[in-house]
Amino acid sequence: MLDKNSGIYIPQHVGIIMDGNGRWAKKRGLPRSIGHRYGAQNFRKITRYISKTGVKILTLYAFSTENWKRPIEEVNALMGLFRQYLIDLLTDFRYDDIKVVFIGDRSVFEPKLIKLINESEEVAKDRKGMLLNIAMNYGSRSEILRAVKQIGREVRDNALDPDKITEDDISKRLYTANEPDPDLIIRTGGEFRLSNFLLFQSAYSEFYSTETLWPDFDEECFDNAILEFNKRNRRFGGV
């Protein structure tokens, strides 16, 4: 297992676009909902593994603002899995030193689900280990719009000088305020796009795509992504 003592540089913040659950199921002649179920199981396993490698922040793209366009049966299945995952966080994960935060617009979820989200965050708020950001009903464009509206209100109320607005002012009004930008974005399933994930924050993130579908993305796959990241020369616009 990779860790901070292995001689390999472990990125401080990793984001993962968990893609391929439906294709994983289709390849096996199974309903898409089964793929999501296996993906949710892998979600828990990989989170625990990554928390032991030395990564400080892990942001997982679980459900986007665009995912509501999927068939209602699939959305309902995903909401059921999310509910079960929250229950697991309050039981199975109670001994894990992982702080959990949900990013995205939670207001659209049913009240019982919102209650579980709030309870999961409350129980984990004082933990000192890895910070796990779970992006639910998250879209980066809507996140940026939310920040712009907040800045607009502050300008209107004379709390902010529009001529002195900086990139940092925007960053502080995002869901990931006060967190370092992701060093590495991993996407499973072979696609090469961000799909509205951390657009502002990932301006200089390294991107790694693997053909492995999310339910099959294991510890070795994660280690390979980190090893590839270590080969990159991050210049941040310099020479």
The one catalytic residue in 67, 196, 224, 230 is 67
Residue 184 vs residues 40, 84, 96, 199: alpha-carbon distances, Å: 22, 28, 24, 13
The one catalytic residue in 19, 21, 137, 183 is 19
Which phi and psi angles does 88 have, rounded to 5°? -65, -40
Is 218 catalytic? The answer is: no
Residue 169 vs residues 174, 179, 196: alpha-carbon distances, Å: 9, 13, 21
Cα separation, 34 vs 74, whole angstroms:
10
Cα separation, 92 vs 108, whole angstroms:
27
Is 67 catalytic? The answer is: yes
Give the chain's end-to-end CA distance (angstroms, integer): 33
- Positions marked active-site: 19, 67
